[in-house]
Structure 1
């Protein structure tokens, strides 16, 4: 690559640029997904709104403009290679993506003869790099030469914050086992009996399936709460009735656990266990054990409730 001549008067003419149409804006929005994987400012999509800012930034950081077109397959090979190189360079240059089909005015401003192609901008001066879709190795060689030329021109800055260590990609969530997926789909459809049946089958196949056991308790609670028209009234009725009204206390405990007030729900049912006997006592105990499944095993509320239940039973 020949040594470029840096002349501020050779900056790209901005006068021809116009506001984008809604279709152009939509196309630009669709291409922003890949840029989010890179540090902020390393990969940008050129538009009439940011064009001048990007060109002016070339006074401190080299800018590589990747000009592709949605109608060409070659651009689909060139741009990803440049994106990978931009991320690896950690802010030593800015990659500005440009779709010639959706932003023809900006494309004309660079005076390109064909796409896909790449243009460097250093101190406002455009410098053609290559046309077509060279290999990743060839692209890297060209980029190295651009960085050398930029350094000779005193353009040695980096994108602010881009040299930080990239955050690790989040681990993909594992796929649900088939019976769990069936239960989840049933819950989404409001079919609680089918969800319970799927979780029960999963638990029968694997008695150690904790998620299935919790799922059964969750679905049962959701089904019971669906019939509650006035949660506040359910709690008020239980408070007025006293601990010996088992049905009222069970319903109020459901409402409280559903509202995230696990401690209140546990205390309510432990009070029932303390003052009732036989079948009523067993109903309250069984509901407590079921609600225990819905709380963090390490929570202090659960530990206290287990201790208090033991004392109430014996």
Structure 2
């Protein structure tokens, strides 16, 4: 996500250096003497809950919050009411978006004044001292997203692009809603989130790619307008086609046969899994430009399938559609 220029003087301009190690932030799993129910409660789904998909971070629940990133993305929003009031507004906006995105990410609000040890470890790990500060943690791998407090619409657009990119890499899990009900009230009757997608997502988590394709196909057959199911089906097929493929061998085969549609589409799939979405699109557009008849149709259909995997509203898809039109006409 691009960020506006920071007009005020802050320490350590926040860049995008890539993944960093947050292992130093994790707390020991075993609670100390007397921790008892408090430590256990912090690890439970309701511990520190302030919203359906938002948790107030403390030293007891932080390790589990990081572990929950193994199945679906976690965002960490660092803020301070006293030092950077704008950071509080950003955390509030992210909390609203967490509800809007319905489990695509779980938000951890980190009050650096209340948990200075966590804040200090994060600043050291990410080499960032400025506030606001937001980091993405996916499958245990943290990556800084942005500093400053962009408008809500810019946040929404940027996060949508981030999660679309994660989906192209097969990371499609969702968090279940937390209970934010007052004491004495129960949400045990609340239905699970998007139960239609549960069989397909469970199959993906079990590495049953054939099963995931079959489950997503059922959803698409039942409702061809279900864009999320269509995207899930397209991504599951990418994973299915590339299972067990040797990347170096595939690239060598494609380099030696530039007009071999099978070789080129396979490398395009591998590029998608590696996050090189534009490379995948451009490769297939060039194949379409060079081929004709049945080969061209196969390459075009494959490219359209990759569009669905990324999301038809993604700017990279919109640009690639213009490139496709140019190649065809």
Quick one: higher RCO (CA 8 Å, sep 6+), 1 or 2?
2
Larger radius of gyration: 1
TM range (shorter): 0.3 to 0.5
What's the TM-score, normalizing by structure 2?
0.45
